[in-house]
Structure 1
Amino acid sequence: MLQLLSEFLDAPNSSEADHRIANHLSLIASLLRLQTKTLAGSQTFSREDAVWLLNDCSRRVDTVARVHRLLAAQSEQNGWIDVREYLREIAEGIVESTSGDGKYTLKSDCEIGCLVQADHVASLGLLIGELITNAIKYAHPAGVPGVITLSCSRAPDNSSIVTISDDGVGLPEGFDPATSGNLGFRTIRSLTQRLQGEADFDSSCLGLSVTVRFPTPKESSTVIEFGRMTKS
Structure 2
Amino acid sequence: MLGLVLLGLFLRFAVDRGLPSGFPYVTFFPAVILSSFLFGVRWGSVAAVLSGLCAWYFFIPPPDSFALERSGAVALGFYCFVVVTDILLVHWMQRANANLARERETSRALAETRELLFRELQHRVSNNLQVAAGLLALQKRRLHDDSARLALDEASRRLALIGRISRQLYDAGGATRSMREFLEPLCADVVEASGRQNIRCTITVAEDAPLTPDAAVPLALIVAEAVSNAVEHGFRNRDGGTIEVLLARDETAMVKVEVTDDGEGLPDGFSIEASNSLGLRIAVMLAEQLGGRFDLLGGKGTTARLTLPA
Q: Same fold (TM over 0.5)?
A: yes
Amino acid at match of 1:211: R
CA distance in 1, matches of 2:245, 2:261: 9
CA distance in 1, matches of 2:237, 2:290: 34
Where does residue 279 of structure 2 map in the other structure?
A: 184
Q: Which of 1 and 2 has higher RCO (CA within 8 Å, sep 6+)? A: 1
| Structure whose alpha-carbon radius of gyration is higher | 2
Matched, 1:113 2:113: no
The Cα of 1:147 is off from its aligned counterpart by 0.9
Distance of aligned partners of 1:196 and 1:179 in 2 relative to their CA distance in 1, 3 Å threshold: farther
The answer to whether the Cα contact below 8 Å between 1:131 and 1:164 also exists between their aligned partners in 2 is yes
Q: Secondary structure at the match of 1:158?
A: coil
Where does residue 307 of structure 2 map in the other structure?
A: 213
CA distance in 2, matches of 1:214, 1:89: 20
The Cα of 1:152 is off from its aligned counterpart by 0.7
Structure with the largest fraction of strand = 1
Where does residue 95 of structure 1 map in the other structure?
A: 191
The answer to whether the Cα contact below 8 Å between 1:114 and 1:161 also exists between their aligned partners in 2 is no
CA distance in 1, matches of 2:144, 2:285: 21
Q: Give deviations 1:32-68, integer Å, cap 9, x for gaps.
A: 9xx99xx9x9932698997765443211222333112
What is the alpha-carbon root mean square deviation over aligned residues? 3.7
Where does residue 151 of structure 1 map in the other structure?
A: 246
Amino acid at match of 2:159: C
Structure 1 residues 51-66: aligned runs within 5 Å = 54-66=156-168
Distance of aligned partners of 1:8 and 1:94 in 2 relative to their CA distance in 1, 3 Å threshold: farther
Q: TM-score, normalised by structure 2?
A: 0.50
- Between the two proteins, the alignment pairs up a number of residues equal to 184
Unaligned runs of 5+ in 1: 1-6, 217-232
Structure 1 residues 55-94: aligned runs within 5 Å = 55-68=157-170, 71-72=171-172, 75-77=173-175, 81-94=177-190
Q: Secondary structure at the match of 1:10?
A: helix
CA distance in 2, matches of 1:203, 1:125: 23
Counting aligned pairs with the same residue, the percent is 19
Structure with the largest fraction of helix = 2
Unaligned runs of 5+ in 2: 1-110
Q: Secondary structure at the match of 1:149?
A: strand
Amino acid at match of 2:166: V
